[in-house]
Amino acid sequence: MNETSAPTLAPEVADLLRTAQQYRQRLQGDLHEQVVEAIYTEAERIVSRAVSSPAAPARPTFDRTLDRIVTSRLWGFPIMFALFAVMFWITISGANVPSGLLAELLVERGHPWLRELTLAWGWPDWLRGLTIDGVYLATAWVVSVMLPPMAIFFPMFTLLEDFGYLPRVAFNLDALFRKAGAHGKQAMSLMMGFGCNAAGVVSTRIIDSPRERLLAILTNNFSLCNGRWPTQFLMATLFVGALVPAPWSSLAAAAAVTGVAALGVALTFLVSWALTRTVLKGQPSAFSLELPPYRPPRLWQTLYTSLLDRTLFVLWRAVVFAVPAGALIWLSANVHVGGDSIAAHLVRTLDPVALWLGLNGVILLAYVLAIPANEIVIPTVLMLTVLVTGTPEAGAGAGVMFEIEDDNVLKQLLLQGGWTALTGINLMLFSLLHNPCSTTLYTIYKETGSLRWTMWAALLPLGLGIVVCFLVARLWQLFA
Amino acid sequence: MNSTPQSPSAAALPASEACASCAVFRAARLRKLGVRIGHADFVVALAGNPNTGKSTVFNALTGLRQHTGNWPGKTVTRAEGAFEYNGHRYKLVDLPGTYSLLSTSPDEQVARDFLLFAQPDVTVIVADATRLERNLNLVLQVLEITDRAVLCVNLMDEAERHGLQIDTRQLARDLGVPVVGTAARRGQGLAELLQAIEDVATGRVRCRPHRLPEPPPALREAIRVLVEKLERAYPGLPNARWVAMRLLAGDESILNAIRTGELAELVRSRTVRETAAQPATP
């Protein structure tokens, strides 16, 4: 291909290539095809001797019937949306009670108890503040806000994956990808991205064409990852759910999360489409997608592995990052420069830009701090709000975290910090549309070997996020 | 593993089927070592078409938890783990699924390069019992390049549900390597698989792998010359014959590997780099 640009070859290698070329020209017919044909013939002969199929195909038609429904033009997409919406709804309504219990145990009881204890031990104020108000509270919030929804959502998603539904989703999306000029297998990396974007980026290796692979890498961040689901669930519950009458709130919240996830998929197509017409021109290549048989998922094993591999893994990552972040945030809120804390200074600096985007300074600061991991956005936001608005004992009040009522302590806290429904909605959007975490960026750099494309991957979603949040904020002002 | 010496007669005694499927029996001889690879007596590669359950077999033998899922393309990089069986330590390498050694996506190249150039002691080919004919395409290609292989016909439970009957003994006769039927998800057949791996690794069982018909005389001459030249250019190159065939077929990925010096690098290290996938920059 690029014989001219290749490094100078050793003489024996050049000789080898030349000889191969000469022999190849003398060959009759396509050797590759002959080899493949010989293999096929042998395979057929061997199987005919060793495998006996029943006279009447005992193959249950269940698979085929189900496939016809879930991949049909008419029903494919509605079923897909309904399935995901139901999963989100179960997650949101199921997380209420356990989240409340955990919050009561860890935040409302555990936090004052630890303060009392350290008071009795005679710890200095700064040490108690750093460890109990900083590190402990951040961790307690991570556990109570993130554990229940993840423990419900991830097993359901894994069951669906083990059953064999994901390739059907890929099948449904394939035509759209082709229209966007991308590879159909991008649907697979998109699905992987719903777990972890770094894994999604690595999974693009199944795509052979470098151009199409790059498309898949650049758009993978539009799949909401593990670390971002809790933000979606919490904001949808607190702010979107509250916009409608109580009986409908879980449903509205689920619809909002479905909407954001669907927006991500839509943007994947749109951005792929735009890129193939500008910087990554080319034709999509054909491929065949194998629809594996449906397999009854193994319930207990799935629950066990998805709890260990995903839920606890994500939680652990969040805790690992939340501990130093908690300490850092406490310090920044308690070290005063010129009469104000560092955090207050930073938040005030960011506020004008942030408010203009329908967010606030706390959120933007949280996203700067959360570059290592999306998981810590929520605890960082909560910590900063508490410390900046000066209500460190907010946890002592009554109420639970996931209950949509006005006495919800979390909601009270955020309202005191100046949050509105717009802030919540724009946080959901910004959570979808911002730069990938540093792990994913590093993975993108390793996979593409190019700083330029890594920058693209970081700035493209961030730019989109700014535009979308800005537009939503303007529209909101217009109508509200 | 405690090294209680076994009398030869006891070792030779064939375990009854009831014994072999008993967890206690297996547990006594298998020790899952997870990622503690350390020194390994044998290197075993898991190859096969996508979505045939390689990672499930891998997890069952090593005790690790590689992500498994019911869709093709789940594993894109090499995963390594270890287990100990009958006093031997094995390093197990889980390769990405591949339909053929002749194709070229980055994940498939990882599998191809490892099988060809890292030369594992035993190659376990995991095949889907319900799609055996298509799976055999890869099996036959792998048997062209190795003398030590085991065919693991997985998903036997599904084949049974579909009313398929698979004669593993006939398959073993035709293919010239041990064939074991398994249902890895349920842990069935793994004891026999372990035994087959050990038999081949230690040389207790000699494989006479099935080979495709000899090429016509004109081609034979070309192959002979090219193999000679390949061996001169790359001393120690494993599977030179296969590479020669691919050169004659005009395989771009092999030609590129020669031009860029990647092949030389592969031969030099004799192990495949972890990041064998090519950068995606066009």
User: How confident is the model over A433-449, as pLDDT tens digits?
Assistant: 999 988 889 889 988 99
CB contact under 8 A, B229 and A12: yes
Q: What is the model's pLDDT at position A340?
A: 81
Report pLDDT digits (tens) over A267-282: 999 999 999 998 888 7
Report pLDDT digits (tens) over A304-320: 777 777 777 777 877 88
Residue in A closest to B142 by C-alpha:
A39
- Helix then strand then coil, % of chain B, to nearest 5: 45, 15, 40
Greater pLDDT, A143 or A116: A116
Residues of chain A in contact with residue B281, where contact means CB-CB under 8 angstroms, are 210, 214, 448-450, 453
Angle A376-A377-A381 (CA atoms, 0-180°, nearest 5)? 115
pLDDT exceeds 70 at position A422 = yes
Q: What is the model's pLDDT at position A262?
A: 93
Q: H/E element holding A477?
A: helix A451-479
pTM of this prediction? Answer: 0.71
pLDDT exceeds 70 at position A257 = yes
Dihedral of the alpha carbons of A80, A82, A88, A90, in degrees to the nearest 10? -130
Per-residue confidence band for A199, with pLDDT thresholds at 50, 70 and 90:
confident
Per-residue confidence band for A227, with pLDDT thresholds at 50, 70 and 90:
confident
Tokens for A113, please give them: 């108890």
- Point out the residue among B230, B260, B278 whose CB comes nearest to the CB of A16: B230
Mean pLDDT of B28-37: 75
Tokens for B178, please give them: 């041990």
- Point out the residue among B170, B255, B280 whose CB comes nearest to the CB of A49: B170
CB contact under 8 A, A448 and B233: no
CB contact under 8 A, B77 and A52: no
Which spans in A51-136 are helix H? 62-70, 76-103, 111-120, 125-128
Residue with tokens 């390594």: B80
CB contact under 8 A, B105 and A450: no
Per-residue confidence band for A198, with pLDDT thresholds at 50, 70 and 90:
confident
pLDDT exceeds 60 at position A246 = yes
Per-residue confidence band for B46, with pLDDT thresholds at 50, 70 and 90:
very high
Report pLDDT digits (tens) over A152-167: 887 888 888 888 888 8
Per-residue confidence band for B173, with pLDDT thresholds at 50, 70 and 90:
very high
Name the residue among A355, A422, A413, A421 with its Cα closest to residue A388. A413
Which residue type, as a one-letter code, is found at position A252? A
Tokens for B100, please give them: 């053929």
Q: What is the model's pLDDT at position B280?
A: 52
pLDDT exceeds 50 at position B1 = no
Report pLDDT digits (tens) over A82-112: 988 898 888 888 887 888 788 788 887 888 8
Q: What is the model's pLDDT at position B18?
A: 57
Residues of chain A in contact with residue B249, where contact means CB-CB under 8 angstroms, are 24, 30-32, 35
A40 in contact with B, Cβ within 8 Å:
yes
Q: How many CB pairs under 8 A join A and B?
A: 203
- A73/chain B closest Cα distance in angstroms: 22
CB contact under 8 A, B77 and A205: yes
Per-residue confidence band for A171, with pLDDT thresholds at 50, 70 and 90:
confident
CB contact under 8 A, B158 and A9: no
Q: What is the model's pLDDT at position A5?
A: 45
Tokens for B28, please give them: 């006594």
Residue in B closest to A21 by C-alpha:
B248
Residues of chain A in contact with residue B183, where contact means CB-CB under 8 angstroms, are none
Name the residue among A320, A395, A447, A427 with its Cα closest to residue A102. A395
- Point out the residue among A1, A23, A280 whose CB comes nearest to the CB of B222: A23
A254 in contact with B, Cβ within 8 Å:
no
Q: What is the model's pLDDT at position A437?
A: 87
Q: Which of A91-100, A203-212, B179-188 has the highest mean pLDDT?
A: B179-188
Residue in B closest to A63 by C-alpha:
B162
For chain A, the distance separating the N- and C-terminal CA atoms, rounded to the nearest angstrom, is 61
Q: What is the model's pLDDT at position B7?
A: 39
Phi–psi pair at A407, nearest 5 degrees: -90, 10
| A164 conformational bin, left if phi > 0, alpha if psi -120 to 50, beta if neither | left
A13 in contact with B, Cβ within 8 Å:
yes
pLDDT exceeds 90 at position B185 = no
Q: What is the model's pLDDT at position A479?
A: 86
CB contact under 8 A, A164 and B247: no
How far is the CA of A239 from the CAs of A256, A377, A424, in angstroms?
Answer: 10, 17, 6
- Point out the residue among A46, A293, A298 whose CB comes nearest to the CB of B185: A298
